[in-house]
């Protein structure tokens, strides 16, 4: 077999795949096959050039992308993914630090702090009334500023030199304190996962050589969004062989606000003389109309190199403009659109609703729930951010790293054990002066707190020791179960939270997640599980298997594609976002974000504008986004002058939407389904949990459970009207919607 499969690549793509030596830059528009080329190149290197997978390192933007790439490669060349390194910058950083962090004083099992942990650490610092904290109004701003410094690779000393005023200078001092606290807690924050390896490489040339000699080929996807520290990381890792292959699109650079530098891609040839530049101009994703519209919009940006993107695809349908009265009507129109697309034969997983800000999801969710369209939201409060999940994970982290102060503070008094803030602060100070973790201090018994507190702290330690021992001998799921049991955590939830039931479900879900982890990972220890959890990002939660409609922000949609994309909230001030309106660079970044959104669509693109929107409690009249006017008329249908211009006549029977505020009732569609039952065979249906069905007698419902198989296949359905019933599928007059 020859790699790559030449017939599936065009000439330019083939060149990008087979130009293996030296620096190569693929700069090309959306949907031109950059990610595909990157994957094929690995296949080519291993399959044709006989490069060992051990010598290849590839960076993807998300863990999910890494996993997909690994799976694809595995299908093409079984066994390849074991020694190949494919992952995000952060995941790669962790791997390196676990191996060699000790060289710069990082213990092997450090805790990883996410943004919330970092915030808690800073809040605690500020609450200690340090004089530097006086001018700092928002711990969040402080955290983000520190993060920016780190991503610009500025140590406190350098940040101090650059500080513009007193407030910034104080922030730098707090940055220093924050670093000390992290060190004391034997923890790294998220940025450190890249900062520290770069530091390691700069201090220990031999370690840098170890990696850069190993990685003969380094590949980077979404290169336009790298920040300076990531760039330094890439540079170090590719320094020995210099076979650096990067792909990206300057028109899709959307993380400038987080410190990414589009200059990295624009000046790549300057940084790496002798670079082979390859342009891909053919788009394989979208229809001609969608591409025409997107090309036109992005051409309004001045700060760009410009490129020519074309497609051989059909002209396709026009972009549809949907105008609504307000956000509720907008949500109903989105539902209508979705239902009509499902009627057309699209599946829910083929459709994505994108928006600029997370807050917009609320109205959409309400209506989708009422319309019984199963959906997933990417990037709202994620599972791992829920209080109960964080509590249990804090126990886990403390078990793996007793020095982890943020975790200790979180749970030492949860469930309540009479160990209040003052007691904990006292314990902390004493422990710090002895240079030992708080748990060790408690074990020594050499501290002076009230008798009751002392007794309680001893009890806490006893539980902790039991769990610690358990973690050494068994896998994560069992440890988590034991935490819940030993601390009587569910009782605590029941007694303190009116919504305990759903919280208990989440706790159980965490056990299930750890069990699933054990099924797919050889190393299922608590430590390994924690590492996986720490690196999870919002987009990783995206699940195509479940057949759900996807809701997410435009930022999260990068790199993805859907048959149909609906972009909601195209209003001045919302998109483009008001924070960007008086700054040309930021406005152009918003336009690039719109371009990213439009180019996610393969066949259908809907753009939605609401005349009024509730913002911060006020109802405001809205002006259509300038981006709408940038789409040539030939590409778009609809009319932004009127309200409700959307062709309701076609869809009129879908929704009985006469009641302006009332729930949309899906009537027509369901009735039509009923007529089709006669010639319908149950044997062809694969029922899956979450699937939407229509039952002749009970109406619409969602599949909750699937048991048995063949003739004995039983399906439990939760019906819209509230009842839950179980059927033998073969005989039930029902079918998927």
Ligand X SMILES: Nc1ncnc2c1ncn2[C@@H]1O[C@H](COP(=O)(O)OP(=O)(O)OP(=O)(O)O)[C@@H](O)[C@H]1O
What amino acid positions are annotated as catalytic residues?
Answer: 34-35, 221-222, 252, 600
Pairing of strands 734-736, 692-695: antiparallel
* Strand, helix or coil for residue 237: helix
Q: Which is nearer to ligand X, 285 or 348 (CB)?
A: 285
Query: Which of ligand X, Mg ion, none interacts with 32 (beta carbon under 5 to 8 A by kind)?
Result: ligand X
CB of 313 to Mg ion, least distance (A): 18
Size of the site for ligand X (CB under 6 A): 18
Binder of residue 33, out of Mg ion, ligand X, none (CB less than 5 to 8 A by kind) = ligand X
Could you say which of ligand X, Mg ion, none residue 30 binds, taking C-beta under 5 to 8 angstroms by partner kind? Answer: ligand X
**Among 31-39, 41-49, 62-70, 397-405, which window interacts with ligand X (CB under 6 A)?**
31-39
Distances (CA, A) of 324 to 360, 553, 645, 708: 15, 20, 8, 46
Question: For residues 177 and 313, which CB has a smaller minimum distance to ligand X in the complex?
Answer: 313
Contact 96, 195 (CB under 8 A): no
Q: Which stretch binds Mg ion (CB under 5 A): 16-24, 292-300, 326-334, 554-562?
A: 554-562
Nearest distance from C-beta of residue 46 to ligand X, angstroms? 19
Is 285 one of the binding residues for ligand X (CB under 6 A)?
Answer: yes
Using rule CB under 6 A, residue 10 touches ligand X: yes
Binding residue for ligand X (CB under 6 A) from 3, 24, 35, 145? 35
Which residue, 10 or 275, has its beta carbon nearer to ligand X? 10
Query: What is the four-CA torsion angle of 677, 679, 685, 691, rounded to 10 degrees?
Result: -20
* List 29, 31, 87, 559, residue binding Mg ion (CB under 5 A): 559
Among Mg ion, ligand X, none, the one that 348 touches (CB under a kind-dependent 5 to 8 A) is none
CA 177 to each of CA 124, 128, 547: distance values in angstroms, whole numbers, following the listed order: 11, 12, 48
Restricted to residues 24-63, the positions that interact with Mg ion (CB under 5 A) are 34-35
User: Judged by CB under 6 A, does residue 30 bind ligand X?
Assistant: yes
How many other C-beta atoms can be found within 10 angstroms of the C-beta atom of residue 661? Answer: 7
Selection from Mg ion, ligand X, none that 36 binds (CB < 5 to 8 A by kind) is: ligand X
- Min. distance of Cβ 252 from ligand X in angstroms? 6
Count of CA atoms in the C-beta half-sphere (13 A) of 409: 18
64 touches ligand X (CB under 6 A): no
The reply on whether position 4 binds Mg ion by CB under 5 A is no
Tell me whether residue 389 or residue 560 sits nearer to ligand X (CB atom): 560
- Which stretch in 5-13, 47-55, 81-89, 185-193 sits in contact with ligand X by CB under 6 A? 5-13
Query: What is the spatial distance between Cα 191 and Cα 206, in angstroms, rounded to a whole number?
Result: 23
Alpha carbon distance 579, 609 (integer Å): 19
Element (H, E) at 555: none
Q: Which among 4-12, 207-215, 429-437, 677-685 is the span making contact with ligand X, rule CB under 6 A?
A: 4-12
Kindly tell me which residue out of 103, 284, 384, 719 binds ligand X, with binding defined by CB under 6 A.
284
439, 442, 444, 449 alpha-carbon torsion, rounded to 10°:
150
Instruction: Please check whether residue 410 is in contact with residue 427, taking contact to mean a CB–CB distance below 8 angstroms.
Output: no
User: Does residue number 73 form part of the binding site for ligand X (CB under 6 A)?
Assistant: no
Question: Cβ 433 to ligand X, closest distance in Å?
Answer: 53
Euclidean distance between CA atoms 612 and 629, whole angstroms: 19
Cα separation values, 250 from 45, 222, 224, 268, 583, Å: 27, 9, 6, 12, 19
Q: Is 179 exposed, middle or buried (0-12, 13-18, 19+ CB in 10 A)?
A: middle
Q: Which residue's entry shows tokens 């709408």? A: 628
Asked if 9 touches ligand X (CB under 6 A), the answer is yes
State which residue, 223 or 375, has the beta carbon closest to Mg ion: 223
Is residue 261 a contact point for ligand X (CB under 6 A)? no
Considering the rule CB under 6 A, would residue 603 count as an interface residue with ligand X?
Answer: no
- For CA atoms 621, 625, 631, 635, the dihedral sign is negative
Choose one: 30-38, 76-84, 365-373, 629-637; the region binding ligand X (CB under 6 A).
30-38
Residue 686 dihedral angles phi and psi, to the nearest 5°: -105, 110
Q: Which residues pair with 310 in a beta bridge?
A: 282
Say whether residue 5 binds ligand X (CB under 6 A). no
- Residue where the block lists tokens 């409060």: 381
Residues in contact with ligand X by CB under 6 A are 8-10, 13, 30-36, 249, 252, 284-285, 559, 561, 599
Residues in contact with Mg ion by CB under 5 A are 34-35, 559
């Amino acid at each position: 077999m020859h790699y790559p499969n030449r017939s599936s690549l065009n000439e330019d793509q083939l060149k990008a795949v087979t130009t293996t030596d030296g620096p190569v830059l693929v700069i090309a528009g959306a949907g031109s096959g950059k990610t595909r080329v990157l994957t094929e190149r690995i296949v080519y290197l291993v399959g044709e050039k006989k490069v060992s997978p051990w010598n290849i390192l590839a960076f993807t933007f998300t863990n999910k992308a890494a996993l997909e790439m690994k799976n694809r490669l595995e299908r093409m060349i079984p066994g390849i993914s074991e020694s190949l390194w494919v992952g995000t910058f952060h995941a790669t950083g962790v791997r390196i630090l676990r191996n060699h962090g000790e060289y710069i004083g990082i213990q092997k099992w450090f805790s990883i702090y996410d943004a919330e942990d970092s915030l808690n650490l800073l809040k605690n610092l500020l609450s200690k009334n340090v004089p530097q904290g006086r001018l700092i109004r928002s711990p969040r701003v402080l955290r983000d500023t520190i993060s920016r410094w780190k991503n610009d690779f500025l140590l406190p000393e350098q940040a101090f030199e650059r500080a513009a005023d007193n407030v910034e200078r104080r922030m730098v001092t707090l940055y220093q304190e924050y670093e000390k606290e992290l060190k004391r807690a034997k923890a790294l924050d998220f940025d450190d996962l890249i900062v520290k390896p770069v530091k390691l490489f700069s201090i220990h040339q031999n370690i840098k050589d170890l990696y850069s000699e190993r990685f003969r080929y380094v590949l980077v996807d979404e290169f336009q969004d790298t920040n300076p520290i990531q760039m330094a990381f890439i540079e170090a890792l590719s320094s020995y062989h210099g076979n650096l292959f990067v792909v990206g699109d300057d028109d899709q650079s959307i993380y400038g606000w987080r410190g990414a530098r589009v200059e990295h891609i624009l000046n790549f040839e300057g940084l790496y003389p002798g670079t082979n530049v390859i342009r891909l101009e053919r788009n394989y994703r979208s229809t001609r109309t969608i591409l025409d519209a997107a090309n036109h919009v992005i051409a309004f940006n001045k700060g760009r190199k410009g490129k020519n993107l074309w497609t051989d695809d059909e002209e396709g349908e026009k972009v549809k403009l949907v105008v609504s009265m307000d956000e509720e009507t907008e949500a109903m129109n989105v539902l209508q659109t979705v239902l009509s697309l499902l009627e057309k034969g699209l599946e829910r997983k083929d459709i994505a609703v994108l928006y600029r800000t997370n807050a917009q999801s609320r109205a959409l969710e309400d209506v989708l729930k009422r319309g019984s369209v199963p959906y997933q939201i990417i990037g709202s409060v994620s599972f791992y951010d829920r209080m109960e999940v964080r509590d249990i994970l804090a126990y886990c982290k403390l078990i793996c790293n007793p020095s982890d102060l943020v975790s200790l503070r979180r749970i030492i008094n949860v469930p309540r054990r009479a160990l209040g803030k003052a007691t904990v602060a006292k314990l902390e100070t004493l422990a710090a002066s002895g240079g030992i973790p708080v748990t060790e201090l408690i074990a020594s018994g050499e501290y002076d707190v009230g008798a009751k507190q002392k007794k309680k702290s001893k009890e806490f330690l006893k539980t902790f020791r039991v769990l610690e021992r358990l973690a050494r001998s068994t896998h994560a799921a069992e440890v988590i179960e034991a935490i819940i049991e030993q601390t009587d955590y569910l009782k605590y939830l029941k007694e303190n939270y009116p919504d305990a039931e759903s919280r208990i479900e989440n706790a159980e879900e965490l056990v299930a997640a750890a069990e699933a982890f054990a099924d797919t990972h050889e190393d299922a220890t608590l430590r390994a599980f924690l590492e996986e959890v720490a690196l999870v990002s919002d987009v990783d939660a995206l699940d195509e298997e479940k057949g759900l409609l996807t809701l997410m922000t435009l930022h999260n949609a990068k790199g993805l594609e859907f048959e149909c994309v609906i972009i909601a909230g195209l209003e001045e001030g919302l998109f483009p976002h008001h924070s960007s309106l008086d700054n040309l660079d930021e406005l152009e970044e918003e336009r690039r974000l719109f371009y990213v959104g439009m180019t996610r669509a393969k066949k259908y693109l809907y753009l939605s504008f609401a005349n009024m929107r509730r913002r911060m409690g006020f109802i405001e009249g809205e002006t259509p986004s300038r981006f709408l006017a940038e789409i040539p008329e030939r590409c778009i249908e609809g009319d932004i002058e009127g309200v409700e211009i959307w062709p309701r006549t076609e869809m009129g029977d879908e929704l009985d939407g006469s009641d302006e505020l009332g729930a949309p009732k899906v009537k027509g569609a369901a009735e039509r389904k009923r007529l089709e039952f006669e010639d319908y065979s149950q044997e062809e249906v694969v029922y899956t949990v979450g699937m939407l069905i229509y039952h002749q007698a009970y109406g619409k419902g969602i599949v909750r459970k699937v048991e048995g198989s063949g003739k004995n296949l039983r399906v439990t359905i939760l019906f819209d009207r509230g009842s839950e019933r179980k059927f033998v599928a073969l005989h039930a007059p029902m079918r998927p919607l």
